Amino acid sequence: MVSIVIPVFNSERFINKCLDSLIGQEYRDIEIVCVNDGSSDHSLAILNEYTEKDSRIRVYSKENEGKGAAGARNLGLTKATGDYVMFLDSDDFFESDLISSLMAEAEKHDADLVCCGADRYDDRLGKVTGEYKHIELKDAPEKQPFSWRDCPERVFQIGDLIAWNKLYKRDLLTDNDLWFEPIPISDDQYIPALTMVLAERIVTIDRPLIHYRFNTGSSQVDSQPKHPEAAYSATFSIVKRLRELGIYEDVKRSYLNMAVRLMREYFDKMTTLETLRFLYDKYRDEVFPELGATGLTEDYFYDRKIGEWHALITNETLEEVLFRTSRAYGAAWTTAILRFKAPYEKIDRGSRIVLVGRGLVGRYWYAQLMLSGYCEVVAWVSDETDISNGLDYDSVIKAE
């Protein structure tokens, strides 16, 4: 009845726990389709050992294409034979009633799609640290099942653009020619987005049945700074399909709230000025116009901070965006600030300084020193010749 597709790439640390939690599922009528995506560690050997333990496990292998897990998921989908299919990740693990709970709702309501909750398991700490915050199942309509027509302004918030918390009727995917896109990191957005509007009967289970592992040092999320284009690449194909379906304007507010939130999160993780400027220019000149996301007021967005960030990107220079966001959000808004860390080791705590240099580095240093209260910046000037006569200060710090 249920095919579980798992892409596996260098997952020797996690795959045992993942598979053990699936073999032990209360619901027994499953097949586990593992696709070894060119692993260079012992993942394939471990998978082969599990095929000897449980006949429900099948293993396929392919070369890694360097474009995320899309190829492996798509291959697994072609091999799946179940009436329903799930796409789970090899570093996650699951409650023993995951499949039974999802299938109970699917059969009760003849659902095309069932979404469940998840929590976050910090691999560094070795414990659950809270619920996965972007799955807003509380926004689902009270009536079950429902479709996007019942919640057009919240439909994408309900399930988030993630593939792994959903049970899909396989015909929903095959009949609508839905496949994962071969692009880095954001390869799994297309199917979750489109199924939320193509499914006529959606059901939700507001309970964390999946333990999403993070801080592993090897996930796609950890490599986001290397792929700034992933911030928007999936967006164009999703919006194109929504327009072909004739419903983009109906669900636009929900989708833009989701998409712009993701764009901000990617912007936040960039660690070089070059990638920040690349995204800044792309958002303003190409992405926002294509999505109809220019000229929006801040209250268009459900999260005040996202609305403020969108307004900054639209109206301010990159330097002003970086300065104002670091100033407003305690230097946690963008990790780019780490590249311009103030030289605390050169400054006596509690001293009075003059900061010289109004470039990008100066903006960040000023923001950090002002926010931290480490010292008092009595003046911030472009050049030492601009320091006022008689100004009381202990030292001059040059932003270079």
209-230 residue pLDDT tens: 999 998 887 655 556 778 899 9
Please give the residue that has the higher pLDDT: either 339 or 90.
Answer: 90
pLDDT of residue 223: 64
- The sign of the CA dihedral 160, 161, 163, 168 is positive
Query: Rounded to the nearest 10 degrees, how much is the dihedral formed by the CA atoms of 340, 341, 347, 350?
Result: 120
Least confident of 11-20, 53-62, 234-243, 385-394: 385-394
pLDDT (average), residues 42-50: 98
pLDDT of residue 328: 47
pLDDT of residue 330: 44
pLDDT of residue 221: 53
State the Cα–Cα distance between residues 148 and 135, nearest whole angstrom.
16
Query: In whole angstroms, how far apart are CA 332 and each of 108, 157, 264, 269, 324?
Result: 45, 24, 13, 10, 12
State the Cα–Cα distance between residues 193 and 240, nearest whole angstrom.
12
In this prediction, residue 322 has a pLDDT band, given cuts at 50, 70 and 90, of: confident
Q: What is the mean pLDDT of the chain?
A: 91
In this prediction, residue 66 has a pLDDT band, given cuts at 50, 70 and 90, of: confident
pLDDT of residue 363: 74
Least confident of 1-5, 76-80, 165-169, 331-335: 331-335
Tokens representing 39 are 């692993």
Phi, psi of 115, rounded to the nearest 5 degrees: -110, 140
pLDDT of residue 117: 96
pLDDT in tens, 323-342: 676 654 444 444 445 557 78
* CA angle at 134 for the pair 130 and 9, rounded to the nearest 5°: 80
pLDDT (average), residues 73-99: 97
Least confident of 36-45, 198-207, 329-338: 329-338
Query: In whole angstroms, how far apart are CA 57 and each of 12, 28, 45, 92, 169?
Result: 17, 12, 13, 17, 20
Instruction: Classify residue 301 by its DSSP letter.
Output: S
pLDDT (average), residues 228-252: 96
Where is mean pLDDT largest: 99-113, 214-228, 376-390?
A: 99-113
The domain ranges of the chain are 2-219, 236-336, 341-398
Residue 172's H or E segment, with its range, is helix 170-175
- Torsion region of 246: left, alpha or beta (phi above 0 gives left; psi -120 to 50 gives alpha): left
Q: What is the DSSP string of 193-204?
A: HHHHHH-SSEEE
Does the 2-219 domain belong in CATH 3.40.1790.10? no
Least confident of 76-80, 112-116, 262-266, 320-324: 320-324
pLDDT (average), residues 175-200: 94
pLDDT of residue 128: 94
Query: Shortest CA distance to 340 belongs to which of 325, 360, 357, 326?
Result: 360
State the Cα–Cα distance between residues 94 and 337, nearest whole angstrom.
37
pLDDT of residue 305: 87
State the Cα–Cα distance between residues 386 and 339, nearest whole angstrom.
27
Neighbours of 285 (CB within 10 A): 10
In this prediction, residue 11 has a pLDDT band, given cuts at 50, 70 and 90, of: very high
Query: What is the identity of the amino acid at 63?
Result: E
